[in-house]
Amino acid sequence: MNSASTSSTSISESASANRLRVLIVAPSLDILGGQAVQAAQLLARLREEPLLDVSFLPVNPRLPGLLRKLQAIKYVRTVVTSLLYWGLLLARVRSYDVIHIFSASYLSFVLAPTPAILIARLYGKKIILNYRSGEAEDHLRRWHRTAIRTLRLADEIVVPSAYLVDVFGKFKLAASAIHNFVDTDRFKYRERVPLRPVFLSNRNLEPMYNVGCVVRSFSIIQQRYPDARLTIAGDGSERARLQNLAGELELRNIEFIGRVGPEKMHELVSAACIYLNGSEIDNMPGSIIEAFASGLPVVTTDAGGIPYIVRNERTGLMVRCGNHEAMAAAALRLLEDSALASRLSTNAREECKKYEWPAVKNEWINLYHDLAGRRSNEATGRSSSDKEFIRSRVHELESETENSDLQKLRKTLRSSRRTTQMSTK
């Protein structure tokens, strides 16, 4: 090998060694939802950055081979997945400079981000807690003692909206906002002329998203527009009830198509003409941003952080939570006032620029480098006091998870043993 080739190889190896190592800890797309979609998109984009070495650790890792069948068994699933997750954290966290942890609320906060925070702290790593739940205020109020102590272990709390910055401020927790971003290469803008009565709802079918409000509003719309169509993409515990509701209302042209992956969602959005969202609890729904990017007029409730991203009568139409009649009236306004629909779509697309990757990228990269440049916590991170805190926190987790699958499994096993003992007497 000549000297020029050797020098080039040396420079390349040096550049690789100097890259900042970031580990993103989040749900994989096996759990289809906003967190998983944003994590996957962020991971793909950050891996394009030459100064970063970014890896992913799922909070819901798959067991290998035949052992994966255990994850199909209720209660057992939580135990084996949690054990594997803790093992992966212990093995991998030590190799990274910054640990970027996605977080939801309640029991999910205990099972997913909390172990990652504790282990990152043990290894003295810089921690970003990326809290993304619209249920934050209720979570922090109900789980005040343990949740806030755990949150304070993070070096930075980052949230996707100013709404959550305000919520965390109520609990004297400093948070900064870095927006969700939308892939405008995939969600392409187009004007709907003429605007047709073709509606889309793509939230998970869970009580907090109140898709029933959308269904009831559609029943009113269909009285005025008999050929109106509604596609409901998503799944969840409410699906059977919602399908029954559609039957009771004798709705036509309504289709429940189940879960749709992010690679196909842009096709649904492009085919629709009006987006309906009926959520009761929310933060910064990426689905609304995707509608903005695609030129899809939005009618939504004013839940949680939605008023922070939708400006009523400027970028969308907002109604009070649970008011399906107002939602129907707003949708009918759009169908009957093409100038209004066009103005909202144009304004929303302009608003969407701050949710594009170039606007968001530097905020993440600058935060990673800023954290890495701060004085390392490694020496104190491995101190006996930190280890004692971790031990005490683990004991607290046991009391917080009395109703978790782990506790249910223990009760099931105890019951089984008692039954076996009685049958042998």
pLDDT in tens, 73-84: 776 777 888 889
The answer to whether 63 and 87 have CB atoms below 8 angstroms apart is no
How confident is the prediction for the chain on average, in pLDDT? 87
31-40 tens-digit pLDDT: 778 899 999 9
Measure the CA–CA gap between 409 and 372, rounded to whole angstroms: 41
pLDDT at 30: 84
Alpha helices (H) in 123-259, listed in sequence order: 136-142, 144-151, 162-170, 211-224, 239-248
Measure the CA–CA gap between 19 and 371, rounded to whole angstroms: 14
290-312 tens-digit pLDDT: 999 999 999 999 999 999 999 99
217-229 tens-digit pLDDT: 999 999 999 999 9
Is the pLDDT reported for residue 411 higher than 60? no
Task: Using DSSP, state whether 28 is helix, strand or coil.
Answer: coil
105-115 tens-digit pLDDT: 999 999 999 99
The residues spanned by each domain of the chain are: 15-181+358-414, 198-355
Is the pLDDT reported for residue 244 higher than 60? yes
92-142 tens-digit pLDDT: 999 999 999 999 999 999 999 999 999 999 999 999 999 999 999 999 999
Measure the CA–CA gap between 315 and 292, rounded to whole angstroms: 8
Question: pLDDT-derived band of residue 394, with 50, 70 and 90 as boundaries?
Answer: low
351-388 tens-digit pLDDT: 999 999 999 999 999 999 999 987 654 444 445 555 56
Q: What percent of the chain has pLDDT over 70?
A: 83
**Which CATH architecture group holds 198-355?**
3-Layer(aba) Sandwich (3.40)
pLDDT at 401: 47
pLDDT at 402: 45
CA distances from residue 54 to 50, 209, 309 in whole angstroms, order as listed: 10, 33, 29
182-204 tens-digit pLDDT: 998 899 999 999 999 999 999 99
Is the pLDDT reported for residue 331 higher than 70? yes
Q: Exposed/middle/buried for 223, CB within 10 Å: 0-12, 13-18, 19+? A: exposed
pLDDT at 412: 44
DSSP codes, 318-355: EE-TT-HHHHHHHHHHHHH-HHHHHHHHHHHHHHGGGG
Looking at CATH, the fold of the domain delimited by 15-181+358-414 is given as Rossmann fold (3.40.50)
What predicted TM-score, i.e. pTM, was given to this entire model? 0.82
Q: What percent of the chain has pLDDT over 90?
A: 74
More confident call, 32 vs 153: 153
Task: Using DSSP, state whether 60 is helix, strand or coil.
Answer: coil
The answer to whether domain 15-181+358-414 and domain 198-355 are alike in fold is yes
